[in-house]
Amino acid sequence: METKQLKDFYNRRFIEDLAAAIACEYSGFESDKFILSVLNDEWGEFELKQRMFHITKNIHKYLPDDYKRAIEILWNVPEKLINHKMSGFLLMFFPDFVEKYGLNDWDLSMKALEHFTKTSSSEFAVRPFIMKDKEKMMRQMLKWSMNDNYHVRRLSSEGCRPRLPWACALPEFKESPSLIIPILENLKDDGEDYVRKSVANNLNDISKDNPDIVIDISKKWYGRNKFTDRVIKHACRTMLKQGRNDVMSIFGFEKVKAVSSYISVIPNKVKIGNDAVIKAKVDFGAKRIKKLRLEYIIHYVKKDGGYSKKVFQIAEKENILGEINITKKHGFAQMSTRKHYKGKHKIELVINGDISVGCDFILT
């Protein structure tokens, strides 16, 4: 059965329902012309974000030119559409409208972004406002971090991530995240996991450019409570995969040496598209290991014949004595995020951040 792509949720029924919802708020809305303009000859070729921006452009085309009047019309429209499956992401053209047409009406746009994020997310739309006046916008984000609505609190963290996927980067925050940290301080113990996950993702972004800042925060926050511990563990995931000893030690993963270790890929020659079985064995003898983190690294062949590596976690265990045997399936199907190429690959077993043993295998 073919999986429905997210862009396909923007179908004729959705556009007709959107037109009807806007017409309820604005009697002068030309619904038929709007629908025809959206579902034009190019519509079928548009990808997800192209469709979203195309909807935004056509909403603007058929609403009054006055920005304030347009926002008044759109204000209650999302509530009429929230029954659509995956409506949160699908409705991001409302904050996109604010981004595209409200950059010069700061006060109204702040109210609109705060309002629309409750039924969608304004995480992309806030970024041009940050780039226009970062000090002013981050004061607003700090206020939002104390908002009663958890969608708004989450926006204050997600919107200022230095490396938010699918969004324009924030180079000044890559260089110095000082304006972000007070927001994350406010949210680190938030009652909503949805918000805390954003805090962790923001810190993970920061760790890629400013690892020492995240390490200092981790040492300060870790051990406060179970929620903050989860935030820090998720925030440090990139640095943990890098095997940094200063990060490993925060979570109690000390350097350990196995008496013997072994890893293999079965079969040794794997056809692209198939699965393989990874078998590993680690023997610590009579020494008890308090905390153990096991991973494996695959060095994938690239198109140019070079290699790129990817780290995969196997398990974390406590109070280990003697021998551990691992069996894990690993797939080599072609994906949009990873293209496989034939040739000799390498796999390595990692114990508490240190490479222990490795072997080669072939993709055919």
pLDDT in tens, 232-279: 999 999 999 999 999 999 999 999 988 899 999 999 999 999 999 999
Residues in the chain: 364
pLDDT band at 301 (very low <50, low <70, confident <90, very high): very high
Domains contained in the chain, CATH given? 6-250 (1.25.40.290), 260-363 (2.60.40.1930)
State pTM to two decimals.
Answer: 0.90
DSSP string for 290-346: EEEEEEEEEEEEPTTS-EEEEEEEEEEEEEE-SEEEEEEEEE----SS-----EEEE
pLDDT band at 185 (very low <50, low <70, confident <90, very high): very high
Q: Tell me the C-alpha distance between 333 and 53, whole Å.
A: 32
Q: Tell me the C-alpha distance between 31 and 262, whole Å.
A: 66
Q: Tell me the C-alpha distance between 96 and 50, whole Å.
A: 12
Amino acid 2: pLDDT:
47
pLDDT band at 105 (very low <50, low <70, confident <90, very high): very high
Report whether 34 contacts 14 (CB < 8 A): no
Amino acid 68: pLDDT:
98
Provide the H-helix boundaries in 62-126.
Answer: 67-74, 77-81, 87-90, 93-101, 106-116
Per-residue pLDDT at 1 exceeds 70: no
pLDDT band at 282 (very low <50, low <70, confident <90, very high): very high
Q: Give 229 or 337, the one with higher predicted confidence.
A: 229
Phi, psi (deg, nearest 5) at residue 76: -100, 0
Report whether 208 contacts 239 (CB < 8 A): no
Q: Tell me the C-alpha distance between 125 and 11, whole Å.
A: 23
How many secondary structure helices (H) and strands (E) does the chain include? 18, 8
Per-residue pLDDT at 83 exceeds 90: no
Amino acid 7: pLDDT:
86
pLDDT band at 87 (very low <50, low <70, confident <90, very high): low
CA 210-212-215 angle, 5° bins: 115
Per-residue pLDDT at 85 exceeds 70: no
Amino acid 81: pLDDT:
87
Average pLDDT, the chain: 94
